Amino acid sequence: MGTLKIWLSLMVFMIWADNALLNAEQHIPTTLEGPFEPVTRRFDHSLRRGSDDLPMYHPKLTKKVPSIFPEQIALAISSPTSMWVSWVTGDAQIGPKVTPLDPSTVGSEVWFGKESGKYTSVQRGMSTVYSQLYPFDGLLNYTSGIIHHVRIEDAMDVGTATGSSVQLLKLSDCQGCPDEVDEFSLFLSVGLEHDTRYYYKCGDSSLSAMSNEHFFRTFPLPSADSYPHRIAVVGDLGLTSNTSTTIDHLIRNDPSMLLMVGDLTYANQYLTTGTKGASCFSCAFPDAPIRETYQPRWDGWGRFMEPVTSRIPMMVIEGNHEIEPQAGGITFESYRARFSVPSQESGSQSSFYYSFNAGGIHFIMLGAYVDYNTTGAQYAWLQEDLHRLDRNVTPWLVAAWHPPWYNSYSSHYQEFECMRQEMEALLYQYGVDIVFAGHVHAYERMNRVYNYSLDPCGPIYITIGDGGNIEKVDVDHADDPRKCPSPGDNLPEFGGVCHLNLSSKATFCWDKQPEWSAFRESSFGHGILEVVNSTYALWTWHRNQDIYKEESHGDQIYIVRQPHLCLTNSKQSP
């Protein structure tokens, strides 16, 4: 009997120990347990630091429709009750002499409805072309296909015009539209229904050149109780084999929105002939009077991304690889022409910075390559946007821009210290919860920090510039022996050079991983943000090497808001 008791006790203990171990393995930390001791997971040398770009003849990059049919279809949020639909028709041209296409030759229509094949509304938009010009011997010029942008919201037949919000739509060729609609009808825009699936086609019905049917789901209305399903976050994506793995992995995680934090195509890594050029942005082309770019990479990228962007909205912000200077000092021409962003809807006069709501989350997208000084237009817009914010309606405040303010890697170390010094105090005053950035080709999550000091009311900064680009993953840290850059190494493409007041610091670089850096790892991947309620949000970083491992990831934490402890200037209940 004594032996049996001992055996039973041992079995009970083993079961308890197994359960305790299982629970420990399943435990997801929260920011309430922080600040955390800094952790570095070194680069796994069994992996490659990078991969080659996909060639332009790769099936994911080639054109698959006739010239007048839509391709590169992409969605973007306009407002809680409207959506942007963008696409490209026609053939781009590249050569010593190019002639821009006439946008008026192809219409911009979107037919949509709540049942497949039954389109109860049609809306029209605008179209444009852009050129990338290098009037120098030996360099080729480029002019785009016709880029279409249509802002869709639902429509109600009102019979006669009563105001400026009423639109005149020609529907005689609209296959699938209601039979009772006359050739010309007057419609009043009433907004899309929230949290609803819509089916749509885009193109020009008069040319019988409409796309296949696609669908999207609208977001819940701004509310403390309603949030998007999942939000994917990617930076510095490019068009490599690693990029392809990142996007495949992202699709498996089934997001409802994609936040793209700059450096999209890396088209400026190529000469105008399409051959590989510089290996880094700061490198100069020795034989060219201007840094070149191969614009067809943009078209390939749009085709590559269409399986994602035609179904879920992609919200973008510009990075340094989107600058693309051309003749006459013109910059960002491709970025501005290709993407619709809710700048006017959010009171911004620039596509370089804007805001939008997705359920109970307010997103602020800031431009690091335009004026960010306290005396500038962007700062004034940001103040007004934050002042209008009601945290009882949108409790979560998430910001994004391309270059990180907090970064312990050697690459781009303190490069945008000027921007931090200009804007950080304002974001802190209004209680920003999370900040996403890219630029550094690695992953890093910070403890809550403000002005380089641990602060329980500071944001959680996350660097996610590891989408897969051709410049390879960054592996060196500023605190590694002999890896500290000199103060003049990382010069920004925009703005001046600012450095910390070193009176309280012994050296320019820390001699170990800084206390504000909670976790860092050099791997390619993407992130998923899942907001649970007005207090908790689950953040998961998915590494590319874990794509076929169920429930495997590189980093995971619950980000917890504490509005009762951190008084802000935002309007919110005590």
Cα 98 from Cα 238, distance rounded (Å): 26
The confidence score (pLDDT) of residue 6 equals: 44
Lowest mean pLDDT among 6-15, 75-84, 219-228, 320-329: 6-15
The confidence score (pLDDT) of residue 137 equals: 86
Residue 22 has pLDDT above 50, yes or no: no
Average pLDDT, stretch 528-555?
Answer: 94
Cα 511 from Cα 344, distance rounded (Å): 46
**412 carries an active-site annotation:** yes
Average pLDDT, stretch 196-216?
Answer: 97
Q: Which two tokens stand for residue 150?
A: 């249509």
Q: Which two tokens stand for residue 35?
A: 């600040």
- pTM of the complete model: 0.90
Average pLDDT, stretch 2-23?
Answer: 40
Q: Which two tokens stand for residue 132?
A: 């990338």
Q: Are strands 82-89 and 71-79 parallel, antiparallel or unpaired?
A: antiparallel
The confidence score (pLDDT) of residue 25 equals: 55
185 compared with 560, residue with greater pLDDT? 560
The amino acid occupying position 439 is: H
Give the rounded distance of the alpha carbon of 122 from its chain centre.
28
Average pLDDT, stretch 541-560?
Answer: 92
Phi first, then psi: what are they for 31, rounded to 5°?
-65, -15
The confidence score (pLDDT) of residue 178 equals: 40
Cα 89 from Cα 145, distance rounded (Å): 6
Q: 221: buried, middle or exposed (CB in 10 Å: 19+, 13-18, 0-12)?
A: middle
Residue 502 has pLDDT above 80, yes or no: no
Alpha helices, H only, 263-349: 296-309, 333-338
Which pLDDT tens digit goes with each residue over 40-97? 999 888 888 999 999 999 999 999 999 999 999 999 999 999 999 999 999 999 999 9
Residue 174 has pLDDT above 80, yes or no: no
The confidence score (pLDDT) of residue 488 equals: 77
Which pLDDT tens digit goes with each residue over 426-485? 999 999 999 999 999 999 999 999 999 999 999 999 999 999 999 999 999 999 999 999
In the chain, what is the straight-line distance between the N-terminal and C-terminal CA atoms, in Å? 62
Residue 264 has pLDDT above 80, yes or no: yes
Give the rounded distance of the alpha carbon of 140 from its chain centre.
30
The CB density around residue 250, as the number of other CB atoms within 10 Å, is 25
Confidence of residue 99 (pLDDT cuts 50, 70, 90): very high
Name the range with the highest mean pLDDT among 137-141, 289-293, 372-376. 372-376
Residue 505 has pLDDT above 60, yes or no: no
Residue 368 has pLDDT above 90, yes or no: yes
Confidence of residue 165 (pLDDT cuts 50, 70, 90): very low
The confidence score (pLDDT) of residue 164 equals: 31
Lowest mean pLDDT among 270-274, 337-341, 555-559: 270-274
Tell which residue, 259, 265, 359, 370, has the closest CA to residue 317: 259
Question: Among 149, 214, 402, 412, which one carries the catalytic annotation?
Answer: 412
Mean pLDDT rounded to a whole number for the chain: 88
The CB density around residue 238, as the number of other CB atoms within 10 Å, is 26
Q: Which two tokens stand for residue 483?
A: 């890896």
Tell which residue, 468, 467, 448, 466, has the closest CA to residue 458: 448
